[in-house]
Amino acid sequence: MEESSYTHWEQLAAFHGTGDDHMYDLDALIAGGSLMGPEEQAAIDRATQGRGVADLDVLHLQCHIGCDSITLARLGARVTGVDFSPTALARLDDLARQCGVDVTTVKSDSRDLPRELDGSFDLVYATIGVLCWIDDLDAWMSGVARVLRTAGTLVLVELHPLLTMIDSVEPLVLDFPYAFDGGHVYSGTGSYANRDADITWTTTQYAHGLAEVVMAATRAGLTMTYLEEHTSMSFDPRGMEETVEELDGQYRMRIGLGAVHGETQDRAFPLPVLFTYLGVREP
């Protein structure tokens, strides 16, 4: 992982949940609430055929400060949180203590998971903004397959690559490719959870098209059991104008205008903003 990206995530791990941000309500989490979105919960329900994660061994990959790790533990799973940021893992250890749950933490690059984890998990859980930091998707998927038990499942809920292309809607600015073409360096300020945060950063990010994700999983030995492209989502992932909260509380991305009917014109149809992938490790 590039040093600049590591530094960025160390900064975010120290900041998130300690100030004014719209994603990390740690008081609510400590009080017994959950910050897991309905998209992730639906993916877990589908992966477990409605049985839930109770008594399963779950690896939360790129867990950050581990809010969903704690939720999974409360639901009865034996949870291991993996992240490359020692600050994030220290925050998770403290949060787990305050929440009264047990979560094992492992410091590791997600492209090179420790061999002692091989074949240890019924489910690997990775969600929202994990793949854009990965330069070697085959290595990432191979590690996932390696730590899963036979018939274990990868639950991946991720930003759709079409959404990540778009920097702004008006004017329409596409500043990120759809598919992998190497690293792209960006600099800026703030956090996705607070655009005004006093944080300055430079990072390297990588695009991965949907087909590239599916095929990397297939090459690693995972068999796809479910794939969904979502045209709405329950949250604003980046605090920017490309997704707008609509009357039903869902966020959608619409570009341009829709069909013309005489003197009236429809709204544009929404574009995909998330995808859910489930893949099972075969014998």
Q: At 238, which amino acid appears?
A: R
* Residue whose structure tokens are 């095929």: 215
Phi and psi torsions of 52, nearest 5°: 80, -175
Strands (DSSP E) found in 47-178: 57-61, 78-83, 103-107, 121-127, 148-159, 166-168, 173-174
Q: What is the pLDDT of residue 46?
A: 98
Question: Residue 62 and residue 127: Cα distance in Å, rounded?
Answer: 8
Question: Residue 160 and residue 230: Cα distance in Å, rounded?
Answer: 8
Q: Which residues are CB-contacts of 94 (< 8 A; sequence separation ≥ 6)?
A: none
A 10 A CB-CB count for 32 gives 9
Instruction: Report whether 206 contacts 180 (CB < 8 A).
Output: yes
Average pLDDT over every residue of 113-141: 98
Instruction: Report whether 20 contacts 84 (CB < 8 A).
Output: no
Q: What is the pLDDT of residue 139?
A: 98
A 10 A CB-CB count for 55 gives 10
Phi and psi torsions of 95, nearest 5°: -65, -40
Q: What is the pLDDT of residue 35?
A: 96
Domain hosting residue 203, numbered range: 3-281
> Three-class SS of residue 219?
helix
Instruction: Report whether 277 contacts 160 (CB < 8 A).
Output: no
Taking 80 as the threshold, does the pLDDT of residue 19 lie above it?
no
Average pLDDT over every residue of 60-80: 98
Query: Strands 148-159 and 166-168, how do they pair?
Result: unpaired
Question: Residue 106 and residue 60: Cα distance in Å, rounded?
Answer: 10
Q: What is the pLDDT of residue 195?
A: 85
* Closest to 126 in 3D by CA, of 157, 149, 103: 157
Query: How much of the chain exceeds pLDDT 90, in percent?
Result: 88
Lowest mean pLDDT among 119-123, 239-243, 279-283: 239-243
Question: Residue 17 and residue 241: Cα distance in Å, rounded?
Answer: 23
Average pLDDT over every residue of 56-62: 98
Q: Which residues pair with 278 in a beta bridge?
A: 155, 226
Taking 90 as the threshold, does the pLDDT of residue 102 lie above it?
yes
* Closest to 144 in 3D by CA, of 171, 168, 110: 110
Q: What is the pLDDT of residue 178?
A: 98
Taking 80 as the threshold, does the pLDDT of residue 1 lie above it?
no
Q: What is the pLDDT of residue 182?
A: 96
What does the pLDDT look like over 81-99, one tens digit per residue? 999 999 999 999 999 999 9
* Closest to 21 in 3D by CA, of 207, 169, 237: 237
Most confident of 17-31, 43-57, 166-180, 239-253: 43-57
**Integer-rounded Cα radius of gyration of the chain:** 19
Question: Residue 243 and residue 235: Cα distance in Å, rounded?
Answer: 9
Domain count of the fold of the chain = 1
Q: CATH number for the domain including 81? A: 3.40.50.150
Q: Which residues are CB-contacts of 198 (< 8 A; sequence separation ≥ 6)?
A: 189
